[in-house]
Amino acid sequence: MAKRRSKRKTHVGANNPATPAAVNGHASTKDPKSMVIRIGAGEVGTSISQLATDVRRVMEPGTASRLKERKANRLRDYVTMCGPLGVTHLLLFSRSESGNTNLRLAVAPRGPTFYFRVEKYSLTKDVRRAQRHPKGGGKEYITPPLLVMNNFSNPSSDSNSKVPRHLESLTTTAFQSLFPPINPQTTPLKSIKRVLLLNREESEDGTFILNFRHYAITTKSVGLSKPLRRLNAAEKMLKSRKGKKGGLPNLGKLKDISEFMIGGEDGQGYMTDGTSGSEPDTDAEVEVLETATKRVHSGKARAAEQDSDEEEDGANDNVERRAVKLVELGPRMRLRMTKVEEGMCAGKVMWHEYVHKTKEEIKELEKRWEQRQKEKEARKKQQKENVEKKRKAKAGNKKAGEGEEDKDDDEMDIDEYDSDLYDDEGGFDSEGLEGDAEEQVNAAMEESGAWEDEEEEIAKSKSSKRKSLKG
């Protein structure tokens, strides 16, 4: 008998932390998740496709970064998967027939939906190309960004304004729910590596315009000269696992370390934060506790340190002053709100920038929506009755020897996902999503009998292959 094979090769598992909360302080399964989608993937163009990819990068880690869209995918397909995947927001990029770039922010699963026109945008690669020292591609995207919203609510607005107050509060709530909330007492500072800024422009005509900016947070020590900072950075690089000799300063042409510290023989190269004009202002400085380990002293040494601290008026050596600087990562967008709908990309229009209804017209629309809801409920009731009749008929046929093979097909007859919310009168999405074109072609072929001819050709090809194999 042969010896049983024992597998010795193993796969190295991911080096994940024990608890996600140890990384960012607020990771949870209840955190909001999003999907950034291109509506009409083959028609939007390369620039909008790259813009959608950059926005996915901004929404990390709570987004589908490797989502692949197809032309046949409809909005209903994505909405159906929002529940099982726990997706709370959909960001839909599309291009209209006139060439305008549009963005829809939909809150799953029942809305509301905010329509924006992307008036101007710059891709991430364009922002990086314009910078002298671009930043990005590191560990900034492990944790969600810090959301900063400015001027979303206007103190002078009311219910009769062009942008009413309740719409401002609704928009604020929708954007705030894009990312998980931050608890200042438990969230570590190291987890905040990015900032997403949403600034509403002040406009006289009452339009709602947002500026979308994305930054990375960088810090450096204050009070140290440039040579000392270079030495500290080189020391950290040598202690790390991926240490490189290229990070060390070149001291081969110097006689002593003092020449490197003073910047030459006359000392003109020595710069501190007080003498350098390129350093950040004092307003951008913060005090943080040092994380470096320190030697544990004996009882007498600790008592001496306490006495010296009291003589120096309570100065704390563990506090380190660091300068905070923001480096733009991209992309940039200028968004103009045009419409707000109550449902998921469909439903009653709550606000429109260009179309204004009178009270009589609003009442007429309300009656029309109520009538549509009644018709929908009646249609669902009729579908359920039809399904019950089919089940009873199958139960009777089962006694005669016929099985119930298509049980799942009958259950799909129920209009479970409110298909009329996603289809227009022509069967297409409001933004030109023509994923039903293939289904319409197939239906036309069935009516004309073209499928029967293709079935005969397929059967002939199968028989010819069998003869060739036998021969």
Q: What is the pLDDT of residues 152-183, one digit of tens each?
A: 988 888 888 888 899 999 999 999 999 998 88
Looking at residue 308, its pLDDT comes to: 61
CB contact at 8 A, 27 and 21:
yes
Q: How far is CA 59 from CA 52, 90, 92, 214, 225, in A?
A: 11, 11, 13, 10, 37
Residue 17: both structure tokens together: 């932390």
CB contact at 8 A, 199 and 210:
yes
Beta bridge partners of 195: 146, 215
Task: Please provide the average confidence, as pLDDT, over all residues in the chain.
Answer: 76
Pairing of strands 89-95, 34-38: parallel
Looking at residue 430, its pLDDT comes to: 43
Q: Say how far apart CA 136 and CA 24 lie, in whole Å.
A: 19
Which of the residue ranges 2-6, 226-230, 457-461 would you say has the lowest mean pLDDT?
Answer: 457-461
Q: Over 70: is that where the pLDDT of 293 sits? A: no
Looking at residue 241, its pLDDT comes to: 62
Pairing of strands 209-221, 146-150: unpaired
In the chain, domain spans: 21-217+329-352, 221-327, 359-400+410-470
Portion of the chain with pLDDT greater than 70, in percent: 65
Looking at residue 414, its pLDDT comes to: 45
Average the pLDDT over 278-301 and give the result. 58
Q: Over 70: is that where the pLDDT of 372 sits? A: yes
Which single residue is written with the structure tokens 């479970």? 416
Q: Indicate the pLDDT class of residue 448, thresholds 50, 70 and 90.
A: low
Chain-centre distance for alpha carbon 466? 53
3-state class (DSSP) for residue 314? coil
Q: How far is CA 203 from CA 162, 168, 200, 372, in A?
A: 11, 14, 9, 38
Looking at residue 256, its pLDDT comes to: 78
Query: Do you find a cis peptide bond into 155, omega within 30 degrees of 0?
Result: no
Q: Say how far apart CA 384 and CA 386 lie, in whole Å.
A: 5
CB atoms within 10 A of CB 107: 19
The CATH code that applies to domain 21-217+329-352 is: 3.40.50.10480
Q: Say how far apart CA 459 and CA 447 lie, in whole Å.
A: 21
Pairing of strands 194-200, 146-150: parallel
Q: Indicate the pLDDT class of residue 103, thresholds 50, 70 and 90.
A: very high
Report the alpha-carbon angle 162-167-170, nearest 5: 165
CB contact at 8 A, 179 and 122:
no
Q: How far is CA 1 from CA 4, 8, 346, 359, 461, in A?
A: 9, 21, 69, 89, 48
Looking at residue 243, its pLDDT comes to: 56
The CA R_g of the chain, rounded to the nearest whole Å, is 32
Average the pLDDT over 94-122 and give the result. 92
Looking at residue 455, its pLDDT comes to: 62
- Specify the higher pLDDT residue, 451 or 140: 140
End-to-end CA distance of the chain: 41
Highest-scoring range by mean pLDDT, 277-281, 337-341, 344-348: 337-341
Q: Say how far apart CA 431 and CA 424 lie, in whole Å.
A: 10
Looking at residue 63, its pLDDT comes to: 93
Which of the residue ranges 193-202, 234-243, 290-299, 302-311 would you say has the lowest mean pLDDT?
Answer: 290-299
Average the pLDDT over 184-190 and give the result. 82
Q: Over 80: is that where the pLDDT of 238 sits? A: no
Report the alpha-carbon angle 348-357-205, nearest 5: 105
Which of the residue ranges 142-151, 329-338, 341-350 would you say has the lowest mean pLDDT?
Answer: 341-350
Average the pLDDT over 114-136 and give the result. 91
Q: Over 50: is that where the pLDDT of 433 sits? A: no
Which single residue is written with the structure tokens 């609003």? 362
Looking at residue 111, its pLDDT comes to: 85
Q: How far is CA 65 from CA 55, 57, 89, 320, in A?
A: 10, 7, 14, 37
Looking at residue 200, its pLDDT comes to: 94
